[in-house]
Amino acid sequence: RFDDDARKKAGDDKRLAEKVVPPAEQAAAAPSALARFNGTYSGALLTGGGTVHATLTVDNGRGTVTVIKSGCAPQVFPVVISPAGQVSGAGTLTCILSSGQDAQVGPATIMGGPDGERRFTLKFVTSHSSAAYAISVRRTDG
Residue-wise pLDDT for 85-134, tens only, equals 999 999 998 887 776 666 677 888 999 999 888 999 999 888 876 667 88
Evaluate if pTM is beyond 0.75. Answer: no
Q: Tell me the C-alpha distance between 48 and 62, whole Å.
A: 32
Whether the per-residue pLDDT at 70 is higher than 80: the answer is yes
Chain Cα centroid distance, residue 34: 8
Mean pLDDT across the stretch 25-32?
A: 49
Mean pLDDT of 69-93: 93
**C-alpha–C-alpha distance, residues 97 and 125, integer Å:** 10
Mean pLDDT of 31-58: 88
Q: Judge whether 104 and 94 are in contact, CB under 8 Å.
A: no
Query: Taking 60 as the threshold, does the pLDDT of residue 16 lie above it?
Result: no
Distance CA 141, CA 21 (A): 33
Sequence-ordered list of residues with C-beta below 8 angstroms from that of 26, at least 6 positions apart, any chain: none
pLDDT at 30 over 70: no
In this predicted structure, what is the pLDDT of residue 98? Answer: 74
